[in-house]
Amino acid sequence: MDTKIYQEDQIAEASKQIVNGELVAFPTETVYGLGANALLADSVRKVFEVKGRPSDNPLIVHIAEVSQLEEYVDNFHPLTEKIIKNFWPGPLTMIFCIKKGSLPRVVTGGLSTAAFRMPDNKKTLDFIRLSGVPIVGPSANTSGKPSPTTAAHVYHDMKGKIAGILDDGPTQIGVESTVLDLSDPKKPPMILRPGAVTKEVLEKVLQTTIEIDSHLVKENEAPKAPGMKYKHYSPDTQVMMIRPEDWEAAIQWGKENHQVIGILAGPKVIERWGKEVRETFSYTDNSIKAATHGLFAGLRALDDSQKLSIIYVEIFSEEGLGEAYMNRLKKAAGQKYFEK
């Protein structure tokens, strides 16, 4: 199969592929998604097939109009309207109980709930509207690997497997959306996957306490939302998290154990330790925003060099956006920190 790169004037053509049951990757403000018609079970099964994704892992349904929710959601949480007003379109996914039979079982992973999002990307909103159907959109990469933040990343993983890719350049945020569980209208919302819409921001807007589900889903467990597995977002090269005080010891250990090291970090760390290792990938600056934007791209770049035996990655405080960064990094590293 030829995988076509669609530009802005070809969105209608890309939408026809979705209607016809084919797969087309699309851009969002977070990462690129792998699109299929959410109402065609056979098309959704193709998503699992080309990604190599476990079929118990539920998918996020992308919509372009709030009114589409009413076709599927059984019982809205009382905070839904306020959340939509403040955060849609945007990097926030909401989980609701759905009307029985309203979506194929393969979309929900066999659950009575489903996840919905309205992405903040004009091309993709036009893409969904022209398709006339809701579109599933897990990250457009091989399952378990770092998510794609450019069309080139998608092409690397999906060339010859899907009909096309709608290109809109690099994504703005770099990690997947916040997933908020609203399936029980009687309970406060709970974050199942942290993202750019942080706990602090949600609490300020909604004037209620928001919990974060820190449970790590094992391989034999069915997750309620994407990205909840114990290990995820992992390149083939081993990843290890480095605390600020451990860089010297980690570099020395690597040399003594004949490790070929790469470093993924901000300019401050790269300037101090970059000359001691084989390869580096620097975030654009030392901020958590830059780190979050560059995490997946950096993991991919260092892994694709095929020269390294280990990738050392800078950690950040688990506050605000740091919660999302560290959530992805811990899973990429299989929870492994360097220990002296």
Q: Render 75-106 in DSSP notation, one character per residue.
A: S--TTHHHHHHHH-SSSEEEEEEB-TTSS-HH
Does residue 293 have a known ligand-binding role?
A: no
Q: Is 45 marked within a binding site? A: no
Residue 139 assigned as binding residue: yes
Residue 121 assigned ligand-binding role: no
Closest to 325 (Cα-Cα) out of 267, 237, 264:
264
Give first-to-last CA distance, the chain, whole Å.
Answer: 49
Indicate the pairing of strand 33-37 with strand 60-62: unpaired
Residue 285 CB: number of other CB atoms within 10 A? 12
Identify the sign of the CA torsion 330, 335, 336, 340.
positive
Instruction: Please give the Cα distance from 136 to 15 (Å, whole number).
Output: 13
Peptide linkage before 188 cis (omega within 30 of 0): no
On whether 156 is known to bind a ligand per the annotation, the reply is no
Q: Is 328 annotated as a binding residue?
A: no
Q: Is 208 annotated as a binding residue?
A: no
Query: d(Cα 148, Cα 129) in Å, to the nearest integer?
Result: 23
Distance CA 167, CA 32 (A): 9
Per the annotation, does 300 bind a ligand?
no
Phi, psi (degrees; rounded to nearest 5) at 90 = 170, 180
Binding residues for L-threonine: 30, 62, 117, 177
Binding residues: 30, 53, 57, 62, 113, 117, 139, 147, 177, 193, 233
Binding residues for ATP: 53, 57, 113, 139, 147, 193, 233
